[in-house]
């Protein structure tokens, strides 16, 4: 490809969470993909759930974009590669447009993405225009492509909204779609594959965009080729890594799996819920997910538990993060107060709580190497050993503990492997 590629692109944002960003971004992806266009979606910030819905809507893999965790050049590379083979790029923002560091606005500014604010208009009329004005002008460097009034109650309600905004502004008024509300739970929406009628939801949303400005492609954005980065050495060549992947362990960055393969590893996948035995592997990766929802099934799968215990007992590496760490502990107390025996690879117990216990980006220094990631969990854990290291937040506060216990490395952190591939390789080699 050339040093710059052009592709129509849009960042779907909002003044706050809960306004309908995911619904609109997914509707946009479904509308244009079913019209035969190649649509690539991205999600701003660390998130494992919304990308599953965007992937279902577009029919293509979805990557995250976070300039602190991933680095600007890494994000640039993902956008550049996608733009070279797509007809439309859609980036879903996170929280409110200016919330967080980095924010959705920072991402839009860094890569010249025009913004499309989605505002829940269900409890307002002319004030909608004031909120939109604030989003559009708070940072003059941002480009407003158009706006979306979501959950509009009637044709008259839509007329009030249109009369209040500038005449030259492209405004889409989307009705309340009570029949297409996605189910949620404590960490956010449910995963796309858990929603039986997800395709009907997506089609209803897409139909709601017909005739609006969103049915047309936005102007092209030029994406520059990233600075050249040396390919990582194949430090895991000849190694097989077994990756847990099912409804209980579903929080996997596609980029993490790509990183392992670039390091030379051969990946196999297994289900701690359904598989009775662990196939031969040199190392095991237990990612995050929802083990608290499947305590009985995980506890009852004694043969797989024995295989995982035998694997670790033989000194073979295990990396367990967040939900994977809960599975690695001796026991897990779920949201209903029931206690389930887990793997016992790490001494301690985790207990689910009713509120968020930790959230945000962090970096850990392990063996002199910094690896970045994020934390988001409702549980708390009492671990019976001292931490190997303590991660730090971007402003220097103490964050999550990282534990090393025999062949096991465990933490609440969801590690972003490409931020430190050499450390990652050493972790799976236990060196």
Q: Tell me, yes or no, whether 235 lies in a domain.
A: no
We report the CATH number of the domain holding residue 37 as 3.40.50.300
Same domain, 212 and 340: no
Domain that holds residue 96: 4-224
pLDDT of 430 above 80: no
What is the rounded average pLDDT of the residues 227-241? 89
Residue where one domain finishes, among candidates 190, 224, 258: 224
What is the rounded average pLDDT of the residues 157-170? 96
Residue 263 tokens read as 């390091």
CB 75 within 8 A of CB 66: yes
We report the CATH number of the domain holding residue 349 as 3.40.50.880
To the query of whether residue 322 is one of the catalytic residues in this protein, the response is yes
Residue where one domain finishes, among candidates 224, 250, 282: 224
Same domain, 29 and 65: yes
Q: Tell me, yes or no, whether 123 lies in a domain.
A: yes
Residue where one domain finishes, among candidates 193, 224, 255: 224
The Cα 147–Cα 132 span in angstroms is: 8
**What pTM value is reported for the model?**
0.92
For 314-364, the pLDDT digits (tens) are 999 999 999 999 999 999 999 999 999 999 999 999 999 999 999 999 999
What is the rounded average pLDDT of the residues 383-403? 96
Closest of 148, 97, 162, 149 to residue 123, by C-alpha: 149
For residue 97, the tally of other CB atoms under 10 A from its CB is 26
Q: Tell me, yes or no, whether 66 lies in a domain.
A: yes
Q: How far is CA 384 from CA 281, 319, 381, 405, in A?
A: 28, 18, 10, 10
Residue 121 tokens read as 């208009």
Residue 152 tokens read as 């509009």
What is the pLDDT at residue 401?
97
Cα angle: 260, vertex 61, 295; to 5 degrees: 70
Strands 318-321, 266-270: pairing kind: unpaired
What is the pLDDT at residue 180?
56
Same domain, 334 and 220: no
Domain tally, the chain: 2
3-state secondary structure of 155: helix
Average pLDDT, the chain: 94
For residue 134, the tally of other CB atoms under 10 A from its CB is 13
Residue 1 tokens read as 């490809």
Percent of the chain with pLDDT over 70: 96
pLDDT of 188 above 70: no
Reported confidence tier of residue 431, pLDDT bands at 50, 70, 90? low
CB 357 within 8 A of CB 378: yes
For residue 296, the tally of other CB atoms under 10 A from its CB is 11
Same domain, 258 and 389: yes
Reported confidence tier of residue 186, pLDDT bands at 50, 70, 90? low
3-state secondary structure of 374: strand
Q: Tell me, yes or no, whether 230 lies in a domain.
A: no
Residue 169: its H or E element = none
More confident of the two residues 1 and 415: 415
What is the rounded average pLDDT of the residues 17-46? 96
Closest of 49, 1, 2, 63 to residue 21, by C-alpha: 49
Q: Tell me, yes or no, whether 231 lies in a domain.
A: no
What is the rounded average pLDDT of the residues 244-266? 95
| b/e sequence 328-348, b meaning 16+ C-beta within 10 Å | bbbbbbbbeeeebebbebbeb
For 40-92, the pLDDT digits (tens) are 999 999 998 899 999 999 999 999 999 999 999 999 999 999 999 999 999 99
Q: How far is CA 336 from CA 149, 165, 299, 348, in A?
A: 39, 49, 16, 19
From the candidates 322, 335, 366, 427, give the one annotated as an active-site residue.
Answer: 322
Cis, peptide link before residue 165, omega less than 30° from 0: no
Q: Which residues contact 60 (CB under 8 A, 6 or more apart)?
A: 38, 39, 40, 41
């Amino acid at each position: 490809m050339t040093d710059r590629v052009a592709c129509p692109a849009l960042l779907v944002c909002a003044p706050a969470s809960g306004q309908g960003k995911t619904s609109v971004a997914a509707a946009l992806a479904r509308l244009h993909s079913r019209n035969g266009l190649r649509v690539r979606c991205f999600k701003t910030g660390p998130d494992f759930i919304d990308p599953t819905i965007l992937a279902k809507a577009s029919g293509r893999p979805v990557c995250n974009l976070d300039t602190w965790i991933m680095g600007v050049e890494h994000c640039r590379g993902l956008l550049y590669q996608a733009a070279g083979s797509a007809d439309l790029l859609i980036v879903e923002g996170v929280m409110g447009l200016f919330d967080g560091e980095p924010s959705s606005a920072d991402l839009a500014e860094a890569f010249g993405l025009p913004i499309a604010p989605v505002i829940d208009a269900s409890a307002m009329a002319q004030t909608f225009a004031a909120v939109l004005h604030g989003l559009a002008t708070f940072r003059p460097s941002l480009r407003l492509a158009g706006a979306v009034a979501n959950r509009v109650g009637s044709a008259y309600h839509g007329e009030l909204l249109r009369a209040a905004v500038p005449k030259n502004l492209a405004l889409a008024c989307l009705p309340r779609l009570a029949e297409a509300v996605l189910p949620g739970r404590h960490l956010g929406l449910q995963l796309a594959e858990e929603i039986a009628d997800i395709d009907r939801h997506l089609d209803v949303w897409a139909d709601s965009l017909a005739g609006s400005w969103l049915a047309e492609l936005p102007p092209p954005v030029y994406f520059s080729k990233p600075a050249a980065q040396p390919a990582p050495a194949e430090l895991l060549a000849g190694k097989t890594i077994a990756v847990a992947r099912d409804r209980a362990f579903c929080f996997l960055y596609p980029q993490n799996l790509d990183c392992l393969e670039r390091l030379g590893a051969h990946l196999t996948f297994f289900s701690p819920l359904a598989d009775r035995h662990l196939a031969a592997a040199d190392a095991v990766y237990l990612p995050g997910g929802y083990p608290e929802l499947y305590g009985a099934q995980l506890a009852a799968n004694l043969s797989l538990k024995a295989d995982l215990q035998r694997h670790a007992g033989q000194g073979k590496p295990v990396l367990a993060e967040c939900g994977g760490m809960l599975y690695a502990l001796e026991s897990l107390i779920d949201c209903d107060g029931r206690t389930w025996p887990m793997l016992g690879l790490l001494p301690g117990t985790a207990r689910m709580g009713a509120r968020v216990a930790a959230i945000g980006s962090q970096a850990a220094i392990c063996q002199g190497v910094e690896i970045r990631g994020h934390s988001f969990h409702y549980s708390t854990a009492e671990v019976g050993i001292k931490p190997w290291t303590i991660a730090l937040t971007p402003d220097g506060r103490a964050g999550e503990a990282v534990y090393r216990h025999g062949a096991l490395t465990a933490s609440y952190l969801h590690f972003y492997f490409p931020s430190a591939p050499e450390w990652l390789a050493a972790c799976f080699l236990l060196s």
